[in-house]
A and B are shown apart, each in its own frame.
Chain A
């Protein structure tokens, strides 16, 4: 069956993307599958300047999930464009660049660096990363700031579709999504991680050096489904579903609540060939359910 999807100015050969920060720059996963088989992948958050990230430990396991506080370690936009992007199979699959910055101006400057790059299919704006104390959380929690950041990126993004990745750490995710729409977003993606923490009772220390981190994995899937369902029901923008996808069933659940595509994240840590297999598994499940295309079931939740 045809798994291709087209939405918000983005066309993907199948609905499987990998989530930012779980798939490196893509190159790290070439031993485990053919990147060109994916609908696309979102590279780890890129900032204007390289970042070293947070002190160790930066990852802690939790029941059905994990906490991370990597702190957006990355090589910076210049090195990414020079050393990474040319080695990625961007003619065969969509390379989405996830942008991280600490101010609207910086977000705009960053978007400007990628606007003319033919290897970049879309820009995903990280307004919600809760890990970095000086930025992320504040943007994602305030609709006015989401709108400002989105507008700053959109102005400089050229013809690249702009995806705004929303934080679930808000009272009203639809308000956040509407703010992104008002700022000119083409697509929404949801959800980013939920802030959390873990404690070692014997050492009395937090399990993350940063104390707090972002919770991901199967534990957060119900929250992700709820957010995507609310967004897709209330707003005309296409939504990419993220959160705890560990099987084809999980992916189709997101499609049923209204998602046009999905991002697989934490499952890549359980098995690095997860996303590649998910493409085949979705096709098999869709066939089993008698679906001709994903459009046939998108938003088809019976309530």
Chain B
């Protein structure tokens, strides 16, 4: 009989962890089965379920890039039971992985366009996979700009990536925090306001944004002011997902399942759905 249980996680080992911020920890993992790891493929924006055995499962975007397959990276904000237990794990510990799940950023149709990334807090994680993918396929895309904001300097994740992103000549990186802090050399101000100052052109451009709901709300308004249409704005939802394969009915918004029709949606698509976000 064919073994076909999509709920059965694959065993994986944590290679390395990075304490990004007081509440965000990054995990680099490899599937234990070398053949499965070799054959593993995913698209930028797809998610995985990480499980702590005996505790439960939770959904995270794979924030490494499919162009860099030596490990799979997940960044976890401590929020509940599963994430708290994940934060207690270290290199060498075992986790379960069910991945890849869901759809991906439409990076094919973004070719030739200017890309504006706007990330807030842990919302930077899903942007990272697409950003790295585009940097590894740099010639396919137009201007790339990144606006990444956090509450304070210590809440900035991906600190090992930021110097490279800031110094590259082929992308623009703007970092901002909510309030003045000692030693901070970048912008101070809320993401939507800084975005308006940056004033990226909407012409032949796509905005990709992710962050807390209040940030998203005002960022959308700012993008509108800059002339971005709903069809030009993408985001990713990771809420409420459970089975990951469109069967359990836990994550649907109207007729759409976040786990199979998402997690990536354009605002044009989200506009058509009931307001349950």
Contact = CB atoms under 8 A, between A and B. Distances in A.
A89 interface: no
Nearest to A33: B4
B249 interface: yes
B243 interface: yes
A70 to B, nearest CB: 6
A56 interface: yes
Nearest to B5: A271
B247 A272 contact: yes
Interface in B163-215: none
B5 A28 contact: no
A280 B1 CA distance: 10
Interface string B94-127: 0000000000000000000000000000000000
A57 interface: yes
Nearest to B250: A59
Contacts of B7: 270-272
B57 to A, nearest CB: 11
A109 interface: no
A48 to B, nearest CB: 20
Contacts of A29: 247
A72 B1 CA distance: 33
Contacts of B5: 271-273
Interface in A10-28: 24, 28
A226 interface: no
A31 B4 contact: yes
Interface string B239-260: 0101101111110100000000
Contact of B247 (A24, A33, A277): A24
Nearest to A23: B247
B246 A57 contact: no
A156 interface: no
B192 to A, nearest CB: 28
B276 interface: yes
Contacts, number: 40
Nearest to A75: B255
Interface in A33-89: 33, 55-59, 70, 73
A273 B249 contact: no
A24 B245 CA distance: 13
Nearest to B7: A271
Given A28-B247, A70-B249, A56 B276 contact: yes
B4 A56 contact: no
Contacts of A55: 276
Interface in A260-284: 269-273, 277, 280
Contact of B4 (A28, A58, A273, A280): A273
Interface string B253-277: 0000000000000000000000010
A140 B6 CA distance: 36
A41 B129 CA distance: 42
B254 to A, nearest CB: 8
B240 A56 contact: yes
A1 B247 CA distance: 33
A24 B240 CA distance: 20
A24 to B, nearest CB: 7
A277 B3 CA distance: 10
Nearest to A66: B248
A200 B176 CA distance: 37
Contacts of A277: 1
Interface string B1-37: 1001111100000000000000000000000000000
B244 to A, nearest CB: 12
A32 B250 contact: no
B7 to A, nearest CB: 6
A56 B243 CA distance: 16
Contacts of A28: 246-247
Nearest to A22: B247
Nearest to B252: A56
A272 B4 CA distance: 8
Q: Choose among B4, B245, B246 the residue with the greatest number of A CB atoms under 10 Å from its CB.
A: B4
Contacts of A269: 243, 247-248
Q: Choose among B6, B245, B249, B276 the residue with the greatest number of A CB atoms under 10 Å from its CB.
A: B249
A33 B1 CA distance: 10
Q: Choose among A24, A73, A273 the residue with the greatest number of B CB atoms under 10 Å from its CB.
A: A273
Interface in B60-110: none
Contacts of B1: 277, 280
Q: Choose among A24, A32, A73 the residue with the greatest number of B CB atoms under 10 Å from its CB.
A: A32
B252 to A, nearest CB: 8
A277 B1 CA distance: 9
B228 to A, nearest CB: 29
10 A-B pairs with the lowest CB-CB distances in the bound complex, closest first: A271-B5, A32-B4, A273-B4, A59-B250, A271-B7, A28-B247, A269-B248, A272-B247, A273-B5, A70-B249
Given A28-B246, A272-B6, A272-B7, 8 more contacts: A24-B247, A33-B4, A56-B240, A57-B240, A58-B249, A73-B249, A269-B247, A272-B245
17 contacts: A28-B246, A28-B247, A32-B4, A32-B6, A55-B276, A56-B250, A57-B240, A59-B250, A73-B249, A269-B243, A269-B247, A272-B4, A272-B5, A272-B6, A272-B7, A273-B4, A273-B5
Interface of B: 1, 4-8, 240, 242-243, 245-250, 252, 276
